[in-house]
Amino acid sequence: MKSWQRLSGIVALLVVLLGLCIWYGSLAPAPAVGAYPGGSDIATGSNQYVGSFVSVTGTVESTDPVQIIIETKAGLLRLTIHGVSENATVGDKLHVFGELRGGHAIEAENTVRVRSSGLWYTYAISLLGGLVVLARLIRDWTVDTDNWTLRPRNSECTLCSLYDWLSGFR
């Protein structure tokens, strides 16, 4: 496979990936399959989802009553949450599943609180995981500058050489 063919293939696949992202973004909520309306749906759907079950995640802004701020496609949205089972404190991340009431309020059926320190831990340990993989990739694989591909270190691409040799006869 020549470099331009490989590059064309990668670009084509990236276009497919972009298409999937646009397609998914255009999907409306479908509670029947578990795709519940989220913050952006509530913000842009006026009162369309009042009486429906919604699933949102936001930052706790106040605790009496519990109010959370959600970043949505239409900007920031403030929601009042009733029936919170957790001892939420300001700054925590709160996951809420419940019925949307009028006046931007949710009657919570289930809530999960995540401390902000927990999120920093997740980011830090994830970064470590990414660095481990990157280090191993650099240690074990190398760029073959003849055809701009990756190949294992200390290996000879005899098959690739054969393919290239044969393709020369086409």
Name the minimum Å distance from CB 119 to another protein. 5
According to the binding rule CB under 8 A, does residue 61 interact with another protein? Answer: no
Q: Give residues with Cβ within 8 angstroms of 35, minimum separation 6.
A: 27, 29
- Estimate to the nearest angstrom the gap between the alpha carbon of 43 and the chain centroid: 20
Residue 28 DSSP code: P
Reference 74, options 117, 41, 104; nearest CA is 41
Length of the chain: 170
Window 92-121: contact mask with another protein (x via CB under 8 A): -x-xxx------------xxx-xxx-xxxx
CB of 67 to another protein, least distance (A): 17
Half-sphere exposure of 38 (CA within 13 A, CB side): 15
Binding residues (CB under 8 A) for another protein: these are 1, 6, 9-10, 13-14, 16-17, 20-27, 30, 33-36, 53, 55, 57, 59, 71, 73, 93, 95-97, 110-112, 114-116, 118-123, 125-130, 132-133, 136-137, 139-141, 144, 147, 149-153, 157-160, 163
